[in-house]
Structure 1
Amino acid sequence: MAKGETKGESLNDKEVLTGELASLLGKTPQWIRQLTREGVLKQCRRGRYILRENIHLYIEHVQGGKDESGKLKYSDVKTEHELVKKEKAEMELRVLKGQLHEAKDVRAVMTDMILTVKAKLQSIPARVAPQLDQEPATTIEKTLDKEISGALRSLTDYSPELFRTKESDE
């Protein structure tokens, strides 16, 4: 048996120095002191740590800890980041499938459709008036209704291709 060791010494209550704990955790003594100042690790005496307790505390810290101070834990930030990446991928897939369009594309297509309908509606009086001269009121009403309905029908001509065309134009 090596000099200084006792038979069956338990690691549960073993005290280690800052440097020894740093070496076991693969960190520097400065890092251990920083974690001690932050309250992650606990000294039993100046520069000494109970090995088992502090290994558990360090593992808990690496896994995200039990931070009650309101600060975000690393594991929470990483989880949130992964959720954002997932949501982004889902949105990109919907764009590729033509199920989701950018606001600027919707605005451009809708503006074109509305301006087309506006022009058609405004042209009705000049185009139809000569045809309806001396016609009875019912004929005028039916003709105007037909023309207005035709102009409004162009608002229902939605096609996902309209948005793809806008995207490729830009």
Structure 2
Amino acid sequence: MSKNVTSEKVEDIKSVTVASSVLANLLSVTDRRIRDLAQEGIIVRVKKGRYDLAQSIKNYIVHLKANNDIKEVKNDNLDLDTERALHEIVKREKTELQVKVMKGELHYAEDVEKVMTDMLANFRSKILGLAPKLAPMLVSRSNLTEVQDIINNECLLALSELADYDPILFYNEKYIDFELEEDTSGDVVEKNKNKDS
């Protein structure tokens, strides 16, 4: 007996889930490897024995590429000078990021989350407070334009909570006020401006 195969045209595979055996066959790995990759968070398990096809394939490709890049670096047999140069590049990038953070051009994710959570909580509170605030003011008014103006003004006032961006809000105690100066060897060093002299 032959299986019935549907010839439906699939336009989007975002919602397609497959069994581990199908995914193992597509990726040319074993079922056991699929389970291992799922535990590592590379393959996306939707429910027992079912996997998100599209996201799992994307993640697996990224995983393979990352592993290949690591192998290439290991296989290059880098000499000590090259290793030092690569290390200095990483240190420089790290320092550049730290300087951007200190200048307020770059923010830590947890700081952004805290500020935005506070801002949105205040906004939510203002929106939820509109009805109790406006109902007594508007109950006796019959002029539609006047009612709309009052509501509009209160909405703009609530929205102003979201309009006030201040980079200072994103700073926390991790930020240090510092100056850069050269030491006698010509290296740039940090000098803490907050220290008592």
Alignment TM-score, normalising by the size of structure 1: 0.54
Specify every segment of 5 or more residues in structure 1 that has no aligned partner in the other structure, as ranges. Answer: 1-68
| Deviation of 1:80 (Å) | 1.9
Q: How far does the alpha carbon of each residue in 1:101-128 deviate from its partner, in whole angstroms, 9 at most, with x for none? A: 1000000000000110110011011011
CA distance in 2: counterparts of 1:134 and 1:72, whole angstroms: 83
Could you tell me which residue of structure 2 aligns to residue 157 of structure 1? 164
**Aligned counterpart, 2:126:** 120
- Matched residue, 2:61: none
Q: 2:114 aligns with which of 108, 114, 132?
A: 108
How far 1:133 moved relative to its partner?
A: 1.2
Identity within the alignment, %: 34
Q: What is the CA–CA distance in structure 2 between the aligned matches of 1:151 and 1:168, rounded to whole Å? A: 30
Mark the CA change 1:109 to 1:72 in structure 2 (over 3 Å): closer, same or farther: farther
1:80 to 76, 86, 90: 86
Query: Is 1:92 the counterpart of 2:98 in the alignment?
Result: yes
Shift of 1:77: 2.8
Rounded Cα–Cα distance in structure 1 between residues aligned with 2:173 and 2:78: 43
Structure number, greater radius of gyration: 1
- Structure 2: give runs of 5+ residues left out of the alignment: 1-73, 175-197
1:1-170 map, 5 Å = 70-74=75-79, 75-135=81-141, 136-164=143-171, 167-168=172-173
**Structure 2 CA distance for aligned equivalents of residues 133 and 122 of structure 1:** 18
Distance of 2:160 and 2:152 partners within structure 1 = 12
**For 1:29-51, what per-residue CA distance to the aligned partner results, in whole angstroms no more than 9, with x for missing partners?**
xxxxxxxxxxxxxxxxxxxxxxx
CA distance in 1, matches of 2:157, 2:120: 14
Give how far 1:96 is off: 1.4
Amino acid at match of 1:71: D
Q: SS of the counterpart of 1:110? A: helix
Shift of 1:78: 2.4
Give secondary structure in 2 for the equivalent of 1:101. Answer: coil
Quick one: higher RCO (CA 8 Å, sep 6+), 1 or 2?
Answer: 1
SS of the residue aligned with 1:120?
Answer: helix
Q: Counterparts of 2:169 and 2:135 in 1: how far apart (Å)?
A: 33
After superposition, the CA RMSD in angstroms is: 1.9
Change (3 A) 1:112 1:72: farther
Distance 1:72 1:124 in 2: 67
Distance 1:168 1:73 in 2: 40
Distance 1:168 1:70, change over 3 A: closer
